[in-house]
Amino acid sequence: MNPVKVGLLGLGTVGGGTHNVLVRNAAEIARRAGREIVVTHAAAREYSAAGLEGIDRVTVGDDAFAVVNNPEIDIVVELIGGYSPARELVLQAIANGKHVVTANKALIALHGNEIFEAAQRRGVTVAFEAAVAGGVPIIKSLREGLAANHIEWIAGIINGTGNFILTEMKDKGRDFADVLAEAQALGYAEADPTFDVEGIDAAHKLTILASLAFGIPLQFERCYTEGISRIEPQDVTYAEQFGYRIKHLGVTRRTEHGVELRVHPTLIPERRLIANVDGVMNAVLVMGDAVGPTLYYGAGAGSLPTASAVVADIIDVTRTLTTDPENRVPHLAFQPGELSDMPVLPIDDVFTAYYLRMTVEDRPGVLAAVSGILSEHGISIEAMQQKEPAEGAAQVPLVMLTQSVRESQMKAALAQIEALDTVAGAVVRIRVEQLK
């Protein structure tokens, strides 16, 4: 049987790792796939041949469209990232009848509906395991391993940069800006870290997970997104005193009114396994009605971990080359005609508990005023700490945990509390999830 010919778009960190895994493990891969898989063409504007095993046997150019339009190529592997020209390249590959493998979460989150519809019409496969959590096989788990389950909710640490920053703040009491600078020096964060620290990267990934879990179209624009840049060391400390850790979570949950889709800093009980995932590691906790909670943990980025997922997709596609398109695993886990119109809830309609920290005047009646406002809005206090004022200080931190309440109720209560002349500045608010 003839080898399956692969065209690589990109020879950077992930592209180079993918090439090396395919070369280094060629015999094992052929045993698993049933056919030899070889990279015959690649496109890269700039690359270093050093460290790329057997790259001399690959035709490398700078025109990605030449690879996509090459009639010899069976599978196009898109590893250049970003929205454009990745979208145009993938759609052209599909139009040419080629299967596609990509690690591009932004592309799938924003343009996946269009891409999957085109692939369905053309009878080809678009595989994207590496788009979420690097080498952790969470997409395959949701599409196949958990297919018997009614998925209830997913909570994930799906951005290693943010998790590294929060871990350093917890372990060493460091400021956000200080740790971010180190993350950039170590290569964990880009020069412009916005996508990582403001939650956009995690929102791309959560959008994909929600579609796979609940059978809804990809809806990145409806994902509520909040970053970690305003987290202060004192909040990390207070959270630990209450028995919680702060993690930057992506949370999606099915409710009777619709789907929650949100990324934000979150207090979770320190006894939960996911609360103890530190450094740049990723973890995704999935609750299914039949299986219960399952946790998927591993490296969420890096050359070889991500290449592991990319090559696994290439093997999967190779196995299905002779399969009737109607009998392949659907792109978004559910048959295309069975996707649901279940709405994504606005954040104001989401119920969570809250951690609140405010700076108040150290005088009688302040706590009663704050508690009264919360009570008026139907908000119960679960736990509270009022810190001793520093010597000579007229103000003191007041920290509390509330029971679960609708977001809109909390917003209204905080607006009244912040208007009190005994409360200085804005109230710090972080959502709390028990993940039971």
Catalytic residues: 205
Comparing CA positions, the residue from 201, 219, 202 lying closest to residue 210 is: 219
Q: Which of 230, 231, 275 is nearest to 249 (CA)?
A: 275
- Cα(169)–Cα(257) distance, rounded to whole angstroms? 37
The label of the residue with tokens 């609750």 reads: 287
The set of residues, in sequence order, having a beta carbon less than 8 Å from that of 50 and lying 6+ positions away, is none
Instruction: Report the sign of the C-alpha dihedral through residues 370, 375, 377, 381, in that order.
Output: positive
Cα(25)–Cα(19) distance, integer angstroms: 10
Element (H, E) at 408: helix 407-418
Burial tier of 300 (Cβ tally within 10 Å: 0-12, 13-18, 19+): buried
Nearest-Å Rg of the Cα atoms of the chain is 24
Angle at 99 between CA 299 and CA 83, to 5 degrees: 60
Amino acid at 371: S
Left (φ > 0), alpha (ψ -120 to 50) or beta: where does 198 sit? alpha
Cα separations in angstroms, 80 against 87, 104, 223, 286: 11, 8, 24, 30
Please spell the DSSP secondary structure of 215-266, one letter per residue: -----GGG-EE--STT--HHHHHHHHHTTEEEEEEEEEEE-SS-EEEEEEEE
In DSSP terms, which residues pair with 354 in a beta bridge? Answer: 431
Q: Which of 244, 159, 144, 167 is nearest to 193 (CA)?
A: 159
β-pair type (405-406, 224-225):
unpaired
Could you tell me the two tokens for 144?
């196949």
